[in-house]
């Protein structure tokens, strides 16, 4: 007599593998969203420091956008491109040292997570740059 797996046993194994794959995929998606949110927060912090340093050294506000439209501050370009945050009040002339960081237009899961984290860390606000440091 030849021993073999029955059809029921094979179907059961396939169902179990499918359930495990579904669990792994949801965890992978969650991890990917966490990573994107972390990158967005890091880019926002770096952009704030870049704008502040530029103003402190030149007394001019800039997000690094040159006259030809290119971006020299990679962090600010990333903040603008991912749309999780919006930076306003940065002027190329008549600089007053003030700019505002607000939530952007993106409604993706990772962007919402980044916006909540930034609000919790106090990054979404108006900044006044002057002297050798950033003040609130």
Q: Where are the domains of the chain?
A: 36-135
Token pair, residue 83, equals 């749309």
CA distance 68 to 78: 18
**H or E segment at 129?**
strand 126-130
CA distance 110 to 115: 9
pLDDT digits (tens, 9 = 90+) for 59-117: 777 766 655 555 567 778 888 888 899 888 776 555 677 888 899 988 898 999 999 99
* Whole-model pTM over 0.75: no
């Amino acid at each position: 007599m030849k021993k073999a797996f029955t059809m029921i046993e094979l179907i059961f194994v396939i169902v179990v593998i499918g359930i495990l794959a579904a669990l792994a995929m949801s965890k992978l998606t969650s991890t990917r969203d966490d990573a994107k949110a972390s990158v967005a927060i890091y880019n926002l912090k770096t952009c704030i420091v870049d704008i502040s340093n530029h103003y402190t050294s030149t007394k001019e506000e800039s997000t690094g956008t040159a006259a030809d439209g290119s971006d020299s501050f990679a962090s600010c370009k990333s903040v603008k491109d991912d749309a999780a945050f919006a930076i306003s009040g940065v002027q190329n002339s008549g600089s007053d040292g003030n700019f505002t960081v607000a939530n952007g237009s993106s409604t993706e899961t990772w962007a919402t997570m980044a916006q909540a984290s930034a609000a919790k860390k106090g990054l979404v606000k108006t900044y006044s740059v002057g002297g050798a440091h950033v003040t609130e």
